[in-house]
A and B are shown apart, each in its own frame.
Chain A
Amino acid sequence: MTLSIRSGSTALLGPSGSGKSTLLRLLNRLGDPDEGVVRFHGTNVRELDPLELRKRVGLVPQLPAPVAGSVADNVCLGPRLHGEEIDPEGPVRQAGLDASFLERDASRLSVGEQQRVMLARALALEPEVLLLDEPTASLDSAATAAVEDALGNLQGVSLVLVTHDRAQAERLAERTVELREGRVATA
Chain B
Amino acid sequence: MSTVSITLGEVAASLALIAVAIAVSFWRRAELEQDIALAVLRSFVQLTAVGYVIQAIFDTDSLWLVVALLAGMVAFGAWTARGRAKAVPGATGPIVLALSVAAAVTLGLVLAVGVFEPEPRYLVPVGGMVIGNSMTAVAVALDRLADEMHDGRRQIEAMLALGATSRQAARATVTRSLRSGMIPLIDSTKTTGIVFFPGTMVGMLVAGAEPIDAVRLQVVLLWVLLGAVALAGLIAVSLGYRGFFTAAHQLRD
Contacts and interface: CB of A to CB of B under 8 A. Distances in A.
A75 to B, nearest CB: 11
Given A30-B157, A65-B154, A67-B155, A121 B250 contact: no
Contacts of A77: 159, 162
Contacts of A59: 158, 161
Interface in B159-173: 159-165, 168
Contacts of B157: 30, 61, 65
A46 B164 CA distance: 17
B27 to A, nearest CB: 48
Contact of B160 (A30, A82, A122): A30
A125 interface: yes
Given A65-B154, A65-B155, A54 B161 contact: yes
A125 B163 contact: yes
B161 A28 contact: yes
A131 B155 CA distance: 17
A52 interface: yes
Given A61-B158, A65-B158, A67-B155, A30 B163 contact: no
Contacts of B155: 65, 67
Interface string A55-75: 100110101010100000000
Interface residues of B, number: 16
A52 B158 CA distance: 15
A164 B38 CA distance: 57
Nearest to B157: A30
* Range of interface residues on A (Cβ < 8 Å): 20 to 34
A32 B162 contact: no
Interface string A27-46: 01111100000000000001
B163 A31 contact: no
Contact of A54 (B154, B160, B251): B160
A81 B154 contact: no
Contacts of B160: 30, 54
Contacts of B1: none
Contacts of B154: 61, 63, 65
Residue from the set B155, B161, B165 with the largest chain A CB neighbour count within 10 Å = B161
Contacts of A51: 163-165, 249
A81 B163 contact: yes
B250 A54 contact: no
Interface string A75-107: 001100110000000000000000000000000
B160 to A, nearest CB: 6
B176 to A, nearest CB: 12
A78 B158 CA distance: 10
Contacts of A61: 154, 157-158, 161
Nearest to B158: A65
Interface in B200-238: none
A50 interface: yes
B155 to A, nearest CB: 5
A54 B158 contact: no
Contacts of B163: 51-52, 54-55, 78, 81-82, 125
B194 interface: no
Given A61-B161, A65-B158, 4 more contacts: A61-B154, A81-B163, A82-B163, A122-B161
14 contacts: A32-B250, A54-B160, A54-B162, A59-B161, A61-B157, A65-B155, A65-B158, A67-B155, A78-B162, A78-B163, A81-B159, A81-B165, A82-B163, A121-B162
Interface of A: 28-32, 46, 50-52, 54-55, 58-59, 61, 63, 65, 67, 77-78, 81-82, 118, 121-122, 125
Interface of B: 154-155, 157-165, 168, 248-251
